[in-house]
Structure formats: structure tokens, C-alpha cells
Chain A
Amino acid sequence: MTCLTFEELKTMNRENDILKWFNGEITTEALKNRYPNEDFSTLEKSQFYSKQFELPQIDAQKALEDFKTRKLKKKTTKVVPLNFKSFLKIAAILIVMLGSSYVLFFNNPTSYSTKIAQIERFNLPDNSEVILNSKSQLSFNRKDWKKNRTLDLQGEAFFKVTKGEKFTVQTGVGTVQVLGTQFNVKERQDYFEVKCYEGSVSVTYASEKTILTPGKTLRIVKGEQVIVKEFNYKNPAWLVQESSFDNVPLWQVIDELEIHYDITISTKAINTSILFSGTFTHTDKNIALKSVTIPLKLSYIIDGNNVEFYNYDSH
């Protein structure tokens, strides 16, 4: 800071006092007393007359009306206030969306299904192989498959299970559990059958546990267990487009025919509980029908999708 002379200091003080005077901090008299030799008349007059300029005469209401005649547009970035109610609405929608997407995409069981005359082959997340026979449905939870290898099955499927945690197939009537093996599960109307091809299979039916070793079959027909001879083939016949039966009731064979050829088979005066052993192909309807009817001394008539079985003798 530079040094100020006494004169300069005095001027500065006077200027400050004038400022204070205009700011109403000191009165005109006080100022005049403080600086008796100064002439403040110009400033005094200025102070007085500069109050007297004519101000714009504003009719506020009219100005507002004029203003409203302008065509103004609010900028589109209008902010919608976040009131609690709409916040709740949005939150509710989000929760529903998140919840449903969770159910839809994560928690929803993965499911495969086949129609009549269709076979599907696919792998499970652990590379276990599944072949799903016609008109069957299989579902499982992909999300926790590692911890819980459980499937729900309706119909028939062949499994080649990779070794690992317990592998469970649940059906409407019984539960099949294995650790790593190959087996076939068939659950149709009044018919439940598990065949073990490799390893060992534990089947729980009506709270009774049965252990199957390779070549063994557990078959339940109309709620009753049927004893089945050991088999020595490596794969179910249906994997090579055949259906194979050994001492199976005719009605079950008919069901199987209907599933593979999309036909309706009616029977007249035929005992459908007679047992059938043999195979039928999935590729030719006539051959298949013949291979079932001839050994049983039956015949058939085809009428569109309807097939009638009848006793050869009766015609």
C-alpha cells in the first residue's frame, strides 16, 4: 500500500462521508458540521432533484395482459415434480416389471415338449442327454440346475446322465433317482415304466423304493406292478424309430400307436388287456398296424384318421 498524504486521506474521508450521506447513514447537517468549509450545494441539489425523474407509468395488469398475447412456448424440458404418489406408482410398476421378468427369465422352468409323432433330443446344462419321445413334456429349473438336478416329466424320455449330484425325474406317479446312468422313463395314462440301461436307478413308487440294475424294468400298469423279463438291448427301441413291447397290454400298445401316428384307434369286441410282445416301426403306418394286429389275429380298417381294430374271425 502506498503512503497517503494528509490531504489525500482527508479527501478520502470526505468521499466516504459523502457516500454515507447518500446512503442515509449520516444527515446533511452532520456532514455540513464535519466539513464547514465545503460547499455541498451541488450535491444537495442533485440529491434532491435526481429523485424527481419521471418513471415509466406501468399499468401492471395491462402489461400482463399484453404479455399474455405473446405466443410463448415453454421449453419442452419441463420437469415433472416428483411427488410421492407418482413416485410410488413408478416404484410399483418397476417392482412388478422386475418381479415378472425375474419369474419369466430366471425362475421360470425351462421346458421342452413334443407333439404327436415328434422326437426331440437335447442336452441339459450339465451335458446330460435327454431324448424326449412323442407327446411328452419335460421341464426343469435352469437357474439352480447345478445344485438341484430335478426334472418334471410327463410322457416318455430316455436319459444319459452325466455323473454328479443326485439326478431326479419326477413324474405324476413316481420318482426316479440316479447318480449317473442311462435309463428310460415312461409315464402314460395308467402306465408307468422305468428301464435301466446302465448304472443303477432308484425308483420310488407309492412310497416304495426299488433299485434297478441294468436290464431291469419296473412297470406299473393301472396301479399294479407287473413283472418284466430282463432285457439286454442298450437303448430303448423308440430311439431307432420303433416301439418295442414285451408282455404289454394291448391298450397300451394302442396308445403308443395313436401317439406316433396321430390316429384314433377304436376297438370293437376286442379284449384290450391281452398282452402283446413285439415292435412296431414309427416310419410306416400300415406296417406298424400290421405288426401289431397280425400276431394278435386282428385286422383293421383305416378311415381317414380313424382306425378300427376288429377280430379277424368276426368278419
Chain B
Amino acid sequence: MSKPKSQLCEEKHFNSFYLDHIRAVTNFAYYKCGDQSQSLDLVQDAFAKIWENCSQIDFNKAKSYLFTTVNNLFLNVVRHQKVVFTYAKESPYLDQTNLSPEYLLEEEEFKIKLHTVIAALSVEQREVFLLNRMEDKKYREIADLLNISQKTVEKRMSGALKAIREKIKGVNI
């Protein structure tokens, strides 16, 4: 279904556009900056830009515009801040059959190390890696979302995986 440009200027359409994408785009911002409230701020700013320029944005391209805007705002505002991630409160362990205290401790340590390594990845590698991991997105989908080629996505992903393998053992807790 194609909607004409100006529809984004109508409150009804803008609201549904907002509600459709707010979660995904906030997660995206979060992968980049690792800060929950900041990611929401970024996203609200991006939506504000879209609302202000609604007459110039093609409805079909609004989603891509939204992600691009978040990306740009991120680069302008928060790129150099330290990234800190937290795990979900009740995250399961890989091996549910082995819940010995030793195993659990080892796994907790690994999680913290992983956490550190991911935070230390370049923004480009991290966003690709987390879009793939957290949202099960295929490389093709990530490429479309970020407006880059699939080859680039694969290169960044490869770099992220290499960094994880190499660095995770050297992390001191």
C-alpha cells in the first residue's frame, strides 16, 4: 500500500507510524549508546525531526529516515560516551541441566566479560551484532535497515565475532 507523502503530516498517520516503530528504533538506539533513557531521548528527537519535516518525507521511506536520523543524532550527541549494558534480570543459562554453583559462577563471569567486550566494540560492529543477536535479524534485513550493503554488514559482523573470540579471554573482572 502506498501512501502519499503528506499523510505523515496527519496526526492519525503519524501516531500509528510512531507506535509501529518506537520499540524497534529505541532498541536500535540502545545498541548504539547502551543507555536506556538516552536512547529514548534520541528517538524522540528523531520523531520530532520527522514531524517537523513531514511534508518532505515519503511515507514509504519514513522508517528508513527514522533509523538514519537516530544514527545521525547518535553520532552528533553521544558517540563518545562509555557504553554500559545490563542483562535482563532473569536471564537463563546456556546449559539448563547443569546448574552447579561452579557452572553458574563461570557463566556469570562469562556474561560480564561478554558484556565488556560488546561495549568495547565499535559502534558499527555493535549495532550489527546486536541487531542480529537481539532481534534475530538476517544480514540482508540489517543492510536494508542501515542503508548499507550486505557485504558491509557481514564484514562488520565478522569483525565483531573475531573481537569477541580474541578479547573475551583477556578480560579481567
- Seen from chain A, the residues whose Cβ lies within 8 Å of a Cβ on chain B are 15, 18-19, 22-24, 42-58, 60-61, 63-64, 66-67, 70, 72-75, 77-81
Contact = CB atoms under 8 A, between A and B. Distances in A.
Contacts of B39: 56
Contacts of B36: 56-57
B56 interface: yes
A77 B55 contact: yes
Nearest to B54: A74
A53 B134 contact: yes
Contacts of A66: 44
B130 A64 contact: no
A54 B88 contact: yes
Given A58-B22, A63-B22, A79-B6, 18 more contacts: A15-B158, A22-B132, A22-B157, A43-B165, A50-B114, A51-B134, A52-B91, A53-B86, A55-B88, A55-B134, A64-B19, A67-B18, A67-B47, A67-B48, A74-B51, A74-B55, A75-B53, A75-B56
A49 B134 contact: no
Size bracket, chain B contacts: 35 or more
Contacts of B22: 58, 60, 63-64
Contacts of B130: 50, 53
B30 interface: yes
Interface string B78-116: 000000011111011010000000000001001100110
B133 interface: yes
Contacts of A67: 18, 44, 47-48
B52 A74 contact: yes
Nearest to A80: B6
Contacts of A79: 5-6, 55-56
B27 A46 contact: no
B55 A50 contact: no
Contacts of B19: 60-61, 64
Contact of B114 (A15, A49, A58): A49
B123 interface: no
A276 B158 CA distance: 121
A53 B94 contact: no
Contacts of A43: 161, 164-165
Contacts of A50: 114, 118, 129-130, 133-134
A73 B52 CA distance: 6
Contact of A49 (B110, B132, B157): B110
7 contacts: A18-B161, A43-B161, A49-B87, A52-B87, A53-B134, A70-B48, A79-B55
A51 B133 contact: yes
B15 interface: yes
Contacts of B37: 56
Given A23-B132, A79-B5, A60 B44 contact: no
Contacts of A15: 158, 162
B26 A56 contact: yes
B40 interface: yes
B168 interface: yes
B124 interface: no
A56 B27 contact: yes
Given A46-B114, A53-B87, A81-B4, A70 B44 contact: yes
B139 interface: yes
Nearest to B140: A23
Contact of B55 (A57, A64, A75): A75
Contacts of A75: 52-53, 55-56
Nearest to B110: A45
Nearest to B6: A81
B52 A72 contact: yes
Contacts of A49: 87, 91, 94, 107, 110-111, 114
Contacts of B92: 52
A48 B51 CA distance: 38
Interface in B38-63: 39-40, 43-44, 47-48, 51-56
Contacts of A63: 18, 22, 40, 43-44
A43 B6 CA distance: 47
Contacts of B139: 19, 23
Nearest to B133: A50
